[in-house]
Amino acid sequence: MQQPQAIIFDLDGVLTDTSEYHYRAWKHLADDEKIPFTREENDAHLRDVGRRESLEYLIRDRQYSEQQMQEMMGRKNRYYQQCIRSMTSADVAPGGRDLLQEIRQRGIKTAIASSSKNSLTVLEHLGLIPLFDGIADGWCVVNGKPAPDIFVYAAGMVGVHTPDCLGIEDAAAGVEAIKAAGMRAIGIGPRERFHGADAVLPELSNLRLAQLLDAR
Ligand code: BG6
Ligand code: MG
């Protein structure tokens, strides 16, 4: 593609493997509540999905009060925060830091568009904050992915029109959000996970900018 003016990254499952920690935290909660929940369900239904929507998927038609749901979301978040506490710069996807540096050296803006309210903590642990021109997280918009809002917000943070942005995602809901924002979308993961993506790459590890731009 023509060189984008901004590349906007999802965080969890793209730049680092925190999607595994989200899964473990939901699994812990599901086990507490004796709700059956598998890794396959997580991959198919919870990747990139916000905290409340994830809980709603998990409990389905079981009856809980709003207060009980708030408590469960808080409990899942505590389990998640225990997982991320020991993260370090070694937890950045291999080559991820080099890729971000290369993008910036080419004069392309970098931004995060993540649904997670824990994004800043994760980015601090990874030591990546200085490599982003804009960070949009779960505190920034009301409508989560697949709504385009978080990607539009991130593009605004770096002052680039959405058609000039490239978005990178590991989840179907995220690719949908990127396309709804009018951006080119690259899915990271198995090809069958993504329908509307412009290109798919199996993983972000050790990618160079040219491979991102040439991806099909
Ligand atoms: C997304 C993750 O980035 O953020 C989801 O892919 C997670 O798994 C969502 O549910 C919300 O995260 P948090 O940290 O605000 O509960
Ligand atoms: Mg993700």
How much is the mean pLDDT over the chain?
96
Ligand nearest to the CA of 10: 2
The CA 2 to ligand 1 mean position distance, Å, reads 31
Domain co-membership, 103 together with 193: yes
Q: pTM for the complete prediction?
A: 0.95
- 137 CB less than 6 Å from ligand 1? no
- 16 CB less than 6 Å from ligand 1? no
Domain co-membership, 147 together with 55: no
Number of domains in the chain: 2
Contacts of 2 (CB under 8 A, 6+ apart): none
- DSSP readout, the chain? -PPPSEEEE--BTTTB-HHHHHHHHHHHHHHHTT----HHHIIIIITT--HHHHHHHHHTT----HHHHHHHHHHHHHHHHHHHTT--GGGBPTTHHHHHHHHHHTT-EEEEE---TTHHHHHHHHT-GGG-SEEE-TTT-SS-TTSSHHHHHHHHHHT--GGGEEEEESSHHHHHHHHHTT-EEEEES-GGG-SS-SEEES--TT--HHHHHH--
122 close to 113: Cβ distance less than 8 angstroms: no
- What does the pLDDT average to over 180-201? 95
Ligand nearest to the CA of 193: 2
- 54 CB less than 6 Å from ligand 1? yes
The CA 174 to ligand 2 mean position distance, Å, reads 7
Q: Best of 37, 48, 73, 76 to mutate for ligand 1, by most ligand atoms within 8 A of CB?
A: 48
Ligand 1: which atom is nearest the Cα of residue 119? 14
Ligand nearest to the CA of 178: 2
- Higher-confidence residue of 87 and 205: namely 87
Q: What is the CATH number of the domain that holds 39?
A: 1.10.150.240
Look at ligand 1, atom 6, and give the residue with the nearest C-alpha: 48
10 is catalytic: yes
Q: What is the pLDDT of residues 42-65, one digit of tens each?
A: 988 998 899 999 999 999 999 999
17 is catalytic: no
- What does the pLDDT average to over 160-181? 97
- Predicted pLDDT of residue 1: 60
Q: What is the CATH number of the domain that holds 138?
A: 3.40.50.1000
Q: What is the pLDDT of residues 108-165, one digit of tens each?
A: 999 999 999 999 999 999 999 999 999 999 999 999 999 999 999 999 999 999 999 9
Answer whether residue 1 is part of any domain.
no
The residue from 84, 99, 129 where one domain ends is 84
Domain co-membership, 36 together with 100: no
- Higher-confidence residue of 1 and 86: namely 86
Domain co-membership, 116 together with 187: yes
- Predicted pLDDT of residue 116: 96
Domain co-membership, 108 together with 131: yes
Look at ligand 1, atom 4, and give the residue with the nearest C-alpha: 116
Domain co-membership, 74 together with 119: no
- Predicted pLDDT of residue 2: 78
Domain that holds residue 166: 6-17+89-213
